[in-house]
Amino acid sequence: MSWISDKPIPVNERLIVALDVPNIASAKALVTTLGDSVVFYKIGLELFMSGNYFELIDWLNEQNKRIFVDLKFFDVPATVGRAVKQLSDKKVDFVTIHGNNAIMQAAAEQKGSLKVLAVTVLTSLDRGDLDDLGFDCDVEKLVTSRAKRAIELGCDGVISSGLEAPGLRDSLGQNFLVVSPGIRPVDNRPEDDQKRVVSVEQAFYNGADHIVVGRPIRDAKDPRQAAIDIQKSISSVFEN
């Protein structure tokens, strides 16, 4: 069964490029290289620790880009709520949170126009990793359970592998965002840290609204062409 998203999202905004680079200069250089081939960017912990994180947010806004702040807030619920409220004053589209019901609810209550995305199970984890963490259930059940609670508590969507997206759509419907990292246009390389991966097309057939792509674009011989090729793959899904 196909779960292709029917949300009114411009096709070229369904690709989110992860700016997993060491500093602001590298981030700006990559964005400039990609030009109009990419509209939406994710900025995470590595850039946060490099300094000038909010300068980069302001610069991306000046370039008319959409912004996904991926800091996976996980702290005392009141602290997470205040952090989300601070971020809601910035021109940012998405923010990620982690944690229990109280944390998710606190974030949802303070989000303003931000869309809060709850992390389900990181795509770098597999069944063996969950055993190590003490989770005595399969990955799909854990993802669905966490997503169900997040949506009930007011979050706008979840971060989920494309492998679990069909189960989420089947159980919970279409009224929330599914953002899928772990996208690999080609087979994984041995040094890759992503384990639960899908292709661009399969992620959308499985129910993703957006995909997050990092190294297949960043490390490509021609990053702009790699982004254009992925955009063409996305267009082929939504134009059929």
Q: Using an 8 Å Cβ cutoff, are 96 and 105 in contact?
A: no
Q: So what's the pLDDT on residue 189?
A: 46
List C-alpha distances in Å: 75 to 107, 115, 215, 231.
11, 19, 29, 36
- Which residues neighbour 190 within 8 Å (Cβ) at sequence distance 6 or greater? none
Token readout for 14 is 């369904």
pLDDT digits (tens, 9 = 90+) for 33-77: 999 999 999 999 999 999 999 999 999 999 999 999 999 998 999
CA–CA gap between residue 5 and residue 178 (Å, rounded): 9
Q: Which of 72, 85, 115, 148 is catalytic?
A: 72
**Confidence at residue 59, expressed as pLDDT on a 0 to 100 scale:** 98
Active-site residue flag, 28: no
The tens digit of pLDDT for each residue in 214-232 reads: 999 999 999 999 999 999 9
Superfamily holding 11-235: Aldolase class I (3.20.20.70)
SS3 at position 97: strand
Neighbours of 152 (CB within 10 A): 13
Side-chain half-sphere exposure of 122, counting CA atoms within 13 A? 13
Q: What pLDDT sits at residue 188?
A: 43
Per-residue pLDDT of the chain (240 residues; tens, 9 = 90+): 679 999 999 999 999 999 999 999 999 999 999 999 999 999 999 999 999 999 999 999 999 999 999 999 989 999 999 999 999 989 999 999 988 899 999 999 999 999 999 988 655 545 454 445 455 556 667 778 889 999 999 999 999 888 889 999 999 999 999 999 988 765 444 444 454 468 999 999 999 999 999 999 999 999 999 999 999 999 999 986
Predicted model pTM: 0.89
Domain range list for the chain: 11-235
